Chains A and B, each alone.
Chain A
Amino acid sequence: MSLRVTQASLYDRAYRDIQRGLNNYARLQHEVATGRRINRPSDDPSGALRVIPLENELRHLSQLGDNVALARETLDTGAAALEDASGLMARARELATQAANGTISPGDRRSISAEIDQMLQQVVGIGNSRRGDRYLFGGTITDEAPFAIVQGAGRTRVEYRGNRDSLSIEVAPGVDTQLNIPGDGIFLQRQRGATTFTPPDGAAATGARPTGRGDTGVGFQDLTVAFAGLHTDTPGTITAGNGTTNAVGPLSYTFTTSPAALSVGGGPPLLLPITDGAFTTADGRTISLTVSGPPAQLTGTFTARASLSTDGGRSVRVISDFSDAAVAVRNGEDGSVLNIDVRDLARTGSEQVKYVGTFDIFTTLIALRDLLRNSDELPDAVVQQRITQLLPEVDNAHDAVLDGLRELGFRSSSTSALGNRVTSMRIARAESLSLVQDTDLAEAILAMQRQDMSYQAALQVGARVIQTSLQGFLR
């Protein structure tokens, strides 16, 4: 026998059916209205577990998108600054070529020098470019101008005051890019070569030789070699005179007794006693000596000390040992060190020291400006010759700027490529999120219609069933 059916159970069933229909109705309505299948974790717990990380990742990716934009903006600002610098260098090259041309007047040269000084200021200004109020080229020191012009005795130099620390931000998952550009790598790019010494035109070489090792100077410096008195190995009867001396280093001497005479370095003998006697050596060097008489040893060697300086005598290194293959001479202005082989050092005088490969943009402009200004009053021909020598350095410095520009450009374009990747990842993640979380509208609406139909049917049938009773048919 089947179950008895009572009115109460009919009502109950109808009531439950309608409730269930309404519930489904409400759920579908919410899904369609919010466009989301998962509005609370319990709607689909495993789906919700995917939604939260996906949403986090999406937010992260959109942050990365911002970072990419920021990185590109910074790199492009840097590149724009370097482009300006490159333009200035092209102009500097033009001016240098013009100045190397012998036909221009000293007045023209002075005005070119003024223009180059202007350019130097501009390039330093470019090195101190800012984005917002942060210096772009100072490493992680962004609140202090990274480049400063320092005026030393006779020479100008540009100091880097930033650091080499990088400020990195993430531009793609797990990929960091350097947001800042430590300026010394771009503006002070150098490939140090061998240091060269050049005596001034017409002057004899001092005999000092560069070691090419451990030098830290930049651009041009002047090495001056001066006579610094006699070493203690000199016989007691010989003292330094007040006349001109250009000989330094070990000197051989020979006394002859009758008549009493002294010959230095194989040169002609002078009669003794003598005050401020101008002795000459066989190789044409002169030394002023006051000699009272013959010493105990009739032949021997004594040493004329040399003082070496690269800062015009501000700080000097006095040499009495001329067998040293590397004498460090420190520049008191910028603290740079020049290592000199003094074994052949024989004469006083000066050498122009050129630190090959250190001509960065600042150094080149300073060198060019100083040559054109010609405060040393060099003859025109010398100035022209030196400017001509400097032309390749202008090109090198320009190349360094272009290298920097290329690097920034490369970084910008690779950042941009990463940015594209981030964008496509974002789209892919958004799609997966949508797949997990979003309502399939077509399906939901279809389901809603189906729900609608069955709900209506339930209502109709319910209405019919609960109205039906035997009562209606009796009588």
Chain B
Amino acid sequence: MSFGFGLGAGLKALNAARLGLQTAGNNVANANTPGYSRQRVDLSAALPFGLARGLQMGSGVDVNGITRLIDDGLERRLRLQSALVGAAEVDMRRFDEIEGMLAEPDGGLSDGLADLFGSISRLQSDPADRALRGGVVQSAGQIAQGFQLLSRRFGDLQGSTFAEVNGLVRTVNERAQAIAALNREIVAIEATGARANDLRDTRAQHLKEIGKLIDTNAIERSSGSVDLLVGGNLLVAGDRVSPLTTNRGTEGTSVMVGGTRSPISIRNGRIAALLRQEQKDLPGIKDHIDRLANNMILEFNRLHTTGMPRSGPFQALTSAYGAKDTNGNGIAGDEPLAQSGLPFPIGQGELYVAVTNRSTGALERTRIALDPATASLRDLAAQIDGIDRLSASVDPTGRLRIQADEGYGFDFSPRLTPMPDSFGSFGGTNPTIGTSSSGPFDLSGQTFPISLAITTGTAIPPVVTTVTLDANEFVNPAAVTVDELVTAFNRDLGTAATATNIGGRLQLRANFGGAAAQLSVAQGGGGTALAVLGMTGATVTGQDVPVRVAVEGVFTGSSNGRLVFEPTGDGTIGVTPGLGLRVLDERGNLVTTVDIGSGYEPGEQIDLGNGVRISLSAGSVSASAGNAFAMDVVADSDTTDVLVGLGMNSFFLGSTAADIAVNPDLVANPDRMAAGLGTASADASNLARFMALRNGRIAELDANTIEDFYADLVGEVGFKTSGARATLAAQDQLLAHLEAEREAVSGVNIDEEMVDMVRFQQSYDAAARFIAVMQQISETLINLGR
């Protein structure tokens, strides 16, 4: 044994104790450093010396190194959990913001919707009141504003995603640079065999921070450097970085690695949550709001365009929207309506235009069949232009303008015709002869030309006019239509009489009136054409005072049609026993028969059902002369939505939440609001239709009412917000748990370090003491030799 050996062991012990103390000090110093892992001095007994006879003698303590106490699996789980919490935080914040925008249950759109319907309901009590009308327009304006505000805010939120992602990507890139730099240093240090504990901790901390933003996969190589993969692409490879880039395209924000063009798929972290919000949640909510606005505009405009303003039928009206020149030939409105770029799709169907004589109140209704696949706006204008007393044109911007002659007005209201027998073929002053049924008629068995002698006048002898029906006047003599007959008759009748089509029947009216006026039709050359047509050969006389037919009410039936009325026999209204009025539908099916004979007081209203009430004044009617009149019953006067598409007398303008607005004409003059369908001052029948909309289930809104559809959205956002809050709480809990676990493994307990300090201090003291003892021993030995 040598003294040197003893001193050596003491020195080693001193060293070990000093390192232990220093490590404890370092631990205490970093107790609050994020990501710091406590370190420990690894000690082991030094290699023993072999003494004689197999004795082994310890040679003190060796310091093997200073290691970090760390659980790599736990670190990885923590990184993943941070990503989840990051995403949950973004979701929570965003939904919280959206929920705040909706401002429910107070002050949001649901208030506005309730106010709008409330103001309509109030207007119902006094439809002529200007202030109440103004109230409706104002609440509609508030709704429109509410929609616009929501739409703009969603747009802002959507737009801020890019800026936010961009900022986060910059952070990721900075951290990636730091990781690459640390990789270089760690590799350099560890190549010498040392452990770069603190650098590794710093790098782990950077990895964790990146993990909050984006989901990554870290792979440690044997050299000690870490490669970082994002969505399968290398973000960090050793000491090289391929930074992330962002791009804003039509489909939103995308993130790419390095110079690659294809966006990477990100599943977790804040960035992923932001992108998900931008691509799914926000558009979903925005779409919901837009659908609501779109359908509200459509439904309100459907009712409003077919309503009647306070001032009665229109003198002139110009559409708010024009047909676009989509085929680029420089002429707007010559392409089919379906391709005219109108804000609402035009369907196939029919449009009823009513022309009212302002002085008499008489109404003539024209039905226009429209196929948007073939008919252009100019075709429609031409058809309207063809209506008596109306002129219509398409201006260079593609807008439709309709104007009525002085003293006339037009509207699209489904109201009932107040005086349906304008032609006078039902007990009118002028004698009339009509066909007993509706066409077409089979004249193929007759010998053409058919010569008919029409006798008219009051003088003796009366005037005879010959009508000649030639075979070439009919497309198919076996199915001669009434319109063909009307044309053929009118060609030859001159001033003696007029032929027209009344509810599918040919009616011939002498141009003289009064009790002395006569009309008869006879066929020359002995054919049976009159019998085929069902026209009487007898002489018919007129009467001094006509039978007046008056209709009141609002049609409540569900489909459009035309009713034809005919007497069941010849007789005097209110006098002849058993005289009835037969009501037939368009196809000739019997709807009802009502008594207008001895049980009826002329002038009394008869309820025909479906809201139609009719009254007949006294006078004579004749079934044998083919007396009849027709009346359109209209449930929906515009089944094509062409009025909505063009914006003729709209309630709302626009087609989405972003551009919805109340028609400025209504704001300027609330009397233009169409409260009624007819012209009476207190007619509120259109308001009733608006109110029915409140409870109406709209197919395009998933068969919800307007308010329910909106409430669904509120509920959805509420559920998502509370869900996001719960998710965040749960993920955060988990993170806290993992962090506690990490703390348990790698955290610094100051008390422990105190204990260690005391322990190492004592061991230092002891080692020093040992050296002192060894010194004494050696002195004793030296003194022995003296």
Interface residues of A (CB under 8 A from B): 3-9, 12-13, 16, 38, 40-46, 48-49, 51-53, 55-56, 59-60, 63, 66-67, 70, 132, 134, 139-144, 163-165, 167-170, 179-180, 192, 211, 213-216, 326, 328, 330, 335, 337, 339, 437, 469-471, 474
- A163 near B680: Cβ-Cβ < 8 Å: yes
Q: Which of A3, A56, A59 contacts B744 (CB 8 A)?
A: A3
Give residues 737-786 of B contacting A (CB, 8 Å).
739-741, 743-745, 747-751, 754-755, 758
User: How far, in Å, is A42 (CB) from chain B's closest CB?
Assistant: 3
A6 touches B125 (CB 8 A): no
B552 and A163 contact, CB distance less than 8 A:
yes
Tell me the residues in window 705-739 of chain B with beta carbons closer than 8 Å to chain A beta carbons.
707-708, 711, 714-715, 717-722, 725, 736, 739
| A66 to B739 alpha-carbon distance, docked (Å) | 62
Which of B102-110, B377-385, B387-395 lies at the interface?
B102-110
Q: How far is the CA of A43 from the CA of B747 in the complex (A)?
A: 38
B114 in complex: contacting residue of A40, A41, A60, CB < 8 Å = A60
Q: Which residues does chain A contribute within 8 Å of B544, judged by CB atoms?
A: 330
Interchain pairs with CB closer than 8 A, number: 215
Interfacial chain B residues near A140, Cβ < 8 Å: 676, 678, 680-684
A337 and B618 contact, CB distance less than 8 A: yes
- Encode B73-106 as 1/0 by CB contact (under 8 A) with A: 0000000000000000000000110011010110
Whether A470 touches B751, Cβ cut-off 8 Å, given contacts A5-B744, A59-B118, is: yes
Chain A nearest Cβ from B144, distance in angstroms: 19
Q: Assuming A168-B124, A469-B754, A471-B750, what are 9 further A-B pairs, CB within 8 angstroms?
A: A6-B747, A7-B31, A7-B748, A42-B722, A142-B681, A165-B678, A216-B603, A470-B750, A470-B754
Q: Which residue from chain A places its CB closest to the CB of B92 in the assembled complex?
A: A42
Q: CB distance B714 to A134 under 8 Å?
A: no
In the assembled complex, which residues on chain B have CB atoms less than 8 Å from the CB atom of A43? 718, 722
Contact A179 B572 (CB under 8 A): no
> Chain B: interface residue count, which band?
35 or more
Say how far A447's CB is from chain B's closest CB, in angstroms: 18
State the CA gap A113–B745 with chains docked (Å). 117
Evaluate contact between A164 and B613: CB separation under 8 angstroms.
yes
CA distance A16 to B743 in the complex (A): 15
A402 to B206, alpha carbons, bound, how many Å?
A: 94
Across the interface, which residues of B come within 8 angstroms of A45, CB to CB?
715, 718-719, 721-722
Min Cβ gap A121→B in Å is 25
Option from B110, B681, B715 in Cβ contact (under 8 Å) with A141: B681
Q: Note all chain A residues with C-beta closer than 8 A to B721.
A: 40-42, 45
CA distance A141 to B126 in the complex (A): 11
Closest residue of B by beta carbon distance from A325: B575
Is A42 in contact with B598, judged by CB distance below 8 angstroms? no
Chain B min CB distance to A458 (Å):
16
- Is B347 part of the binding interface, using a Cβ–Cβ cutoff of 8 Å? no
A216 to B617, CA, bound (A): 9
CB under 8 Å from chain A, chain B span 576-597: none
* Contact flag A67-B754 (CB < 8 Å), given A6-B748, A40-B721, A55-B114: no
Given A52-B110, A469-B750, residue A170 in contact with residue B741 (CB < 8 A): no
6 shortest interchain CB distances as A-B pairs:
A214-B574, A41-B718, A42-B721, A45-B718, A6-B747, A337-B618
CA distance A70 to B122 in the complex (A): 10
Partner of B748, one of A8, A16, A42, A211: A8
List the B residue with the shortest CB-CB distance to A133. Answer: B128
Residue in B118, B684, B725 whose CB lies within 8 Å of A63: B118
> What chain B residues lie within 8 Å of A6 (beta carbons)?
31, 743-744, 747-750
Contact of B128 with A134 in the complex, beta carbons under 8 Å: yes
Determine the residue in chain A with the shortest Cβ distance to B598.
A213
25 CB-based A-B contacts, threshold 8 Å: A4-B744, A6-B748, A7-B31, A9-B743, A41-B99, A42-B96, A42-B722, A44-B718, A49-B718, A53-B707, A56-B707, A63-B122, A70-B125, A134-B682, A140-B676, A164-B605, A164-B613, A165-B683, A168-B124, A214-B574, A214-B598, A214-B601, A328-B618, A437-B105, A471-B754
Which A residues lie within 8 Å of B572 (CB)?
A: 214, 326, 328, 339
Our pick among B96, B719, B745 for the contact of A4 (Cβ within 8 Å) is B745
Which residue of chain A has its CB nearest to the CB of B743? A9
B747-A8 in contact (CB<8A)? yes
Q: Once the chains bind, are B748 and A134 in contact (CB under 8 Å)? A: no
**Chain B residues with CB below 8 A from A326, complex form:** 572, 575
A164-B552 contact, Cβ under 8 Å, with A43-B722, A141-B680: yes
- Complex Cα distance, B201 from A422, in Å, reads 72
A330, B684: Cβ atoms closer than 8 Å: no
Verify if B45 is at the interface (C-beta below 8 Å from A).
no
Which of B122, B126, B683, B739 meets A132, CB within 8 Å?
Answer: B126
A170 B691 Cβ-Cβ under 8 A = yes
